[in-house]
Amino acid sequence: MDTDPPPQQPPRSLAFFGTKQGHILRDAALLVKRHLGATSLVHVGPLARTRTGRIATVGGFRPVALTAEELGFERVPISFSRVQHELAERLAATPEGTVLTVDMGWGLQTASATANFEGWMAVAQALAASSRRTIVSLYNRSLLIDEHLLAALRGHPAVLAPEGVTTNPHWLPPPLVAGGTLREQVNFWLGGIAPSLIRDNPNADRHAAEGADPMWLLARGADEPAIAGEDSRERWKIRCFGRLRVYRANGSQVEWAVPGGATMKTKTLFAYLLQQGGRGARSDDLADLLWPDADSAESARNRLYHTVRSLRQALEGSRGGDGAGYVLRDGTSYVLAPPDRSWLDITSFEQLCRQSQSHIKAGDLDEALVCLRAADRLYTGDLFEDIPWEYVDDQERDWCWTRRYWLRDMYLKVQRDAARIYRGRAEYSAALAHCQKALKVDALAEFAHEEAMWVFAAQGRREAIERQFALYTESLSRFDDRPRSAELTKLFKTLTK
């Protein structure tokens, strides 16, 4: 006996969480039909095709295909207003009962997308309301980084699951996500648990929990005056690889050069405090780092006070305040306090590297490559590449040097793993490209010379193998006059017999 289709649900923004890239759309499509009563599907992301080139059916639908690239998801910098406009036009032409599914893998395709990922959630809610179409964002739990999954939990009011559409207890309204303090967000969640937990005076939360690390906040009381302008603090995007850059929510960059300030010292102060995190740094340590040859400790401290003021002005920009909320004085120490949930490229890079290793161990090489490519895009140069040498080469504190080389080593492993995967798939040009990237960073990276020789052997190019080994020996004598690698020499002889 035939059963009636489920009634169509009111349009809303939903999240769907899957674990296998090859199954995520199929699993979501089945649930969209079962629980939402959808009659057609529009999909943003890759779709399988038949031998004749037609889009294959997925979960009983033959989806209309849209690409993330054509909609602007991969534009640099990403513009969500453009994405919203493009999608609104396309959804306006769809029949009632259409559901839009969006593969959230676009968040790993460019550094701009990775940094601005959480901006999509407000767009999805607005689109669902204006187009009267349900939008289901598809999150691969084994692929996306932790901060992306947390953004999904904060950003979607409901979740599509096998059991049906389930209210998301972790959802926050877009204004609270964009500009709410941590205390305001907690107050909202508590109010969702029980109405009696809602505070009578929500404005008391305005300045009770703000900053990058909650530890320093424990010393602040709710009766203290609010930091000027803190209700409009929006997250930063901090790029530490290559040239140090800080982007505000409106896309503008922090300008380190302020009238009367020393640009490089201001920038170095930011970098050092950023590395120290919630611990902060003692005034004497900062003064010694920036003015090691000062006539007196008092003179160095006075200069530090001036540089702290310059840094606050730079971070405040044109907002008109004094920026005191960004660099806090805690007794004899200073603490950097970026806006809550500010994005840091180092954090995303490390997560992507770890996830790629998990995928490689599990044999999921497609997922591993997605993570490796995303990590590759984030690494635009050595850590704090433009910080002057005299501040980086600080053996007493070692605040940058060891970390820089550790991250560089992670980047080289990204190139190694990507080259090996591509070589295993006979995608030799891609494998060689990753070898070349590694050799630009470290001309003596033995794995890169090894992988390149294996590729040339697979292509039957003996002369290229000989050139590669000659390049290795030349680099060895030029950079590090040490003995040749026995393993690499043995491989060369084996491949050129």
Blockwise average pLDDT, block size 10, the chain, 497 residues: 58 92 94 95 95 93 96 94 96 96 97 94 95 97 94 95 94 83 81 77 42 33 40 80 94 92 95 94 95 91 95 87 85 91 94 96 95 98 96 88 96 99 98 98 96 98 97 87 89 95
Backbone angles phi, psi at 313, to 5 degrees: -65, -40
Rg (CA), the chain: 26
> Is 453:421 a contact under the CB 8 Å cutoff?
no
Q: What is the pTM assigned to this prediction?
A: 0.86
Beta strands in 78-178 (DSSP E): 98-103, 134-140, 158-161, 164-167
Peptide bond into 483 cis (omega under 30): no
Please name the residue that has the structure tokens 């967000």.
185
- Cβ burial of 423 (10 Å; 0-12, 13-18, 19+) is buried
The CA distance from 415 to 436, in Å, is 9
pLDDT of residue 81: 94
DSSP 246: E
Please tell me the distance from the alpha carbon of residue 320 to that of residue 268, in angstroms, as a whole number: 23
Distance separating alpha carbons of residues 192 and 318, to the nearest angstrom: 37
* pLDDT for 478: 85
Is residue 386 a contact partner of residue 248, using CB atoms and an 8 Å limit? no
Domains of the chain, by residue range, sit at 13-171, 214-341, 443-497
CA distance 325 to 314: 12
Largest CA distance in the chain: 93
Q: What is the pLDDT of residue 206?
A: 41
Six token digits for residue 112: 């701009």
pLDDT of residue 230: 47
Cα separation of 100 and 128, whole Å? Answer: 9
User: How long is the chain?
Assistant: 497
The verdict on domain 13-171 having CATH code 3.40.50 is: yes
- Contact predicate 368/421, CB 8 Å: yes
Measured distance CA(179)–CA(173) in Å, rounded: 10
| Amino acid 436: pLDDT | 98
As a whole number of angstroms, the distance between CA 253 and CA 144 comes to 27
Instruction: Name residues whose C-beta falls within 8 Å of residue 347's C-beta, 6 or more positions apart in sequence.
Output: 147
Residue range 214-341 forms a domain whose CATH class is: mainly alpha
User: What backbone phi and psi angles, to 5 degrees, belong to 246?
Assistant: -125, 125
The reply to whether 214-341 shares the fold of 13-171 is no
Which bin fits 154, alpha (ψ -120 to 50), beta or left (φ > 0)? alpha
SS3 99: strand
Question: Mind giving me the DSSP string for 22-55?
Answer: TTHHHHHHHHHHHHH--SEEEEES---B-TTSPB
Is the torsion defined by CA of 214, 397, 349, 380 positive or negative?
A: positive
